[in-house]
C-alpha cells in the first residue's frame, strides 16, 4: 500500500504588534492645532463655574452698588451742606470712579455668567425660578443695575438713555412682581403663609428702588405707582412674617443673615418717599424709625451671630455648594440702606430731581 502524502499547511504570516507609548506623543488636534486635553479641561472648568453659579451671587454686586451710590452721595455735597457734610465730601472723586468701575465690572461679569447659565443649563434656572427662596434673588441683578444707574457719573437723569435704561431694568422687576404676587392671590389663602420668607422682601426693595429712581427723573406718577405696589405688599409680607406661622419657617440656618433685609425694606421706602415728596417729611421719618427699631432688634438677637459662628459661615464658604449664601453681603450691603436714612434725616443729602 502506498502511503498518502501528508499535507503540510503553509506557515502563518508573521504578525508584528507595534505598541507606542502615548505619553511621548502630544495629543493635539491636527486641524485646529490646539491641545484637546487642555480644551476639555478648560470647558469642564467653565461648565463647573456656570453650574455652581446662581442668582444668590448677585448679592455681592448688590452690596457693591449700594456702596457706590453711598460714595457718590458723600463726594457730591449740596451747596448748603452742613460743615460735617463738607468734611465727608473731602473724599477723592477718583475713589468713587474706581468703586463705580469695580461695581460695573463685577455686575457685567456676573450677568454674562448667568446668561450662559440660562442658555446652557435652562433646567437648573427653571428649578431656581420655581424655588420659593431662590426666586427672590432674581430681583438682585435688576436692583443692582438700577443702583448703578443712579450712581452713574456719565449719564444725567434727564438724558434719554437714562430713561431707556430705567425701563430696561424696571420691566423685569414688574414681570417678577406679577409672577410672585399673582401666586399669592391665586394659589389659595394658605399659600402666602407657606412660601413667605425674609428673602421675599427683595421684591419689595426692588419696587422702592425703582420708585426712587423714577421720582429723581421727574416721573413722580411712575414713582407713586411702584411705591404703592411695593408698600402694600410690604405690609402684607411684614405681617405674615411677624406672625411666625408654621409654614414660613423654611429658612435654613445658613440664611439667617438675610434677616437684615428687614432693615433694607423700610429704609429704601423712606428714601423713595423722600424722592417722591421732595422732602424728608413725617412719612419718611416714620419709615426710617421703623428701620432703626428693626436694626436694634436684630442687634439684640445674639443668637443670629452665635449661629453664624457655630456654622462657620465666612468668606471661605460664600455660596458653597447649593447654599444660597453670601454672608458678608447679606448684612453689610443692607446696612448701607440705613446709612442713607441717617444722611437724609439729618438733611445732609437731598435727591436731585
The CA-based dihedral angle spanning residues 281, 285, 288, 293, taken in that order and rounded to the nearest 10 degrees: -170
Task: Look at residue 41 in the predicted model and tell me its pLDDT.
Answer: 65
Band the pLDDT of 313: cuts 50, 70, 90. Answer: very low
Question: Would you mind telling me the total number of residues written for the chain in this entry?
Answer: 353
Q: Measured between alpha carbons, how far is 145 from 352 in angstroms, rounded to an integer?
A: 19
Could you report the per-residue pLDDT of 159-216, keeping only the tens digit for each? Answer: 899 999 999 999 999 999 888 888 777 776 667 777 788 888 888 999 999 999 999 8
Q: Measured between alpha carbons, how far is 118 from 267 in angstroms, rounded to an integer?
A: 33
Could you report the per-residue pLDDT of 52-93, keeping only the tens digit for each? Answer: 888 888 988 888 888 888 888 777 765 555 555 556 556 677
Structural domains in the chain, CATH included, are: 54-345 (1.50.10.150)
Which is it for the CA torsion 181, 186, 192, 195, positive or negative? negative
Count of C-beta atoms within a 10 Å radius of residue 167? 11
Burial class of 34 by CB neighbour count within 10 A (0 to 12, 13 to 18, 19+): exposed
Count of C-beta atoms within a 10 Å radius of residue 87? 12
Band the pLDDT of 130: cuts 50, 70, 90. Answer: confident
Task: Look at residue 253 in the predicted model and tell me its pLDDT.
Answer: 56
Angle at 85 between CA 84 and CA 90, to 5 degrees: 95
Q: Measured between alpha carbons, how far is 98 from 93 in angstroms, rounded to an integer?
A: 9
Residue whose C-alpha cell is 507609548: 21
Q: Measured between alpha carbons, how far is 145 from 219 in angstroms, rounded to an integer?
A: 19
CB of 274 within 8 A of CB of 349?
no
Q: Does the pLDDT value for residue 133 go beyond 90?
A: no
- Average pLDDT of the chain to the nearest whole number: 75
172-175 long-range CB contacts below 8 Å, 24 or more apart?
172/142, 173/139, 173/142, 173/143, 173/203, 173/206, 173/207, 173/210
Could you report the per-residue pLDDT of 144-157, keeping only the tens digit for each? Answer: 999 999 999 888 88
- 119 membership: H or E segment, kind and range: helix 93-120
Question: CB within 8 A of 277, min separation 6: which ones?
Answer: 283, 284
Which backbone phi and psi does 172 adopt, to 5 degrees? -60, -35
With CA atoms as reference, report the closest residue to 37 among 48, 21, 25.
25
Provide the H-helix boundaries in 244-326.
261-277, 282-300, 302-311
Task: Look at residue 290 in the predicted model and tell me its pLDDT.
Answer: 87
Which is more confident, 88 or 22? 88
With CA atoms as reference, report the closest residue to 86 among 96, 97, 74, 98.
74
Burial class of 316 by CB neighbour count within 10 A (0 to 12, 13 to 18, 19+): exposed
SS (H, E, C) 168-185: HHHHHHHHHHHHHHHHHH
Task: Look at residue 247 in the predicted model and tell me its pLDDT.
Answer: 47
Amino acid at each position: 500500500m502506498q502511503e498518502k502524502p501528508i499535507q503540510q499547511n503553509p506557515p502563518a504570516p508573521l504578525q508584528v504588534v507595534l505598541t507606542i507609548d502615548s505619553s511621548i506623543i502630544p495629543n493635539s488636534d491636527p486641524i485646529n492645532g490646539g491641545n484637546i486635553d487642555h480644551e476639555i479641561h478648560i470647558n469642564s472648568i467653565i461648565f463647573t463655574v456656570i453650574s455652581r453659579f446662581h442668582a444668590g451671587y448677585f448679592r455681592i454686586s448688590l452690596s457693591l452698588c449700594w456702596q457706590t451710590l453711598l460714595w457718590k452721595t458723600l463726594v457730591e455735597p449740596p451747596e448748603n451742606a452742613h460743615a460735617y457734610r463738607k468734611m465727608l465730601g473731602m473724599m477723592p472723586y477718583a475713589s468713587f470712579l474706581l468703586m463705580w468701575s469695580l461695581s460695573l465690572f463685577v455686575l457685567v461679569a456676573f450677568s454674562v455668567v448667568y446668561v450662559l447659565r440660562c442658555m446652557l443649563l435652562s433646567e437648573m434656572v427653571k428649578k431656581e425660578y420655581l424655588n420659593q427662596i431662590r426666586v427672590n434673588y432674581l430681583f438682585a441683578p435688576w436692583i443692582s443695575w438700577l443702583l448703578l444707574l443712579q450712581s452713574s457719573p456719565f449719564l444725567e437723569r434727564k438724558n434719554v438713555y437714562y430713561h431707556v435704561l430705567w425701563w430696561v431694568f424696571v420691566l423685569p422687576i414688574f414681570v417678577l412682581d406679577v409672577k410672585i404676587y399673582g401666586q399669592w392671590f391665586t394659589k389659595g389663602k394658605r399659600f402666602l403663609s407657606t412660601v413667605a420668607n425674609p428673602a421675599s422682601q427683595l421684591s419689595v426693595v426692588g419696587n422702592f428702588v425703582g420708585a426712587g429712581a423714577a421720582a429723581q427723573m421727574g416721573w413722580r406718577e411712575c414713582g407713586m405707582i411702584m411705591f404703592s405696589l411695593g408698600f402694600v405688599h410690604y405690609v402684607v409680607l411684614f405681617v405674615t412674617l411677624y406672625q411666625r406661622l408654621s409654614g414660613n419657617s423654611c429658612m435654613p440656618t445658613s440664611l439667617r443673615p438675610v434677616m437684615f433685609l428687614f432693615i433694607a425694606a423700610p429704609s429704601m421706602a423712606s428714601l423713595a418717599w423722600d424722592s417722591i415728596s421732595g422732602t424728608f417729611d413725617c412719612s419718611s421719618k416714620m419709615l426710617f424709625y421703623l428701620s432703626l427699631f428693626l436694626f436694634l432688634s436684630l442687634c439684640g438677637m445674639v443668637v443670629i451671630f452665635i449661629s453664624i459662628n457655630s456654622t462657620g459661615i465666612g468668606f471661605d464658604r460664600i455660596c458653597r455648594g447649593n447654599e444660597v449664601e453670601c454672608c458678608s453681603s447679606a448684612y453689610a450691603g443692607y446696612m448701607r440702606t440705613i446709612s442713607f436714612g441717617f444722611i437724609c434725616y439729618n438733611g445732609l443729602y437731598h435727591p436731585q430731581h
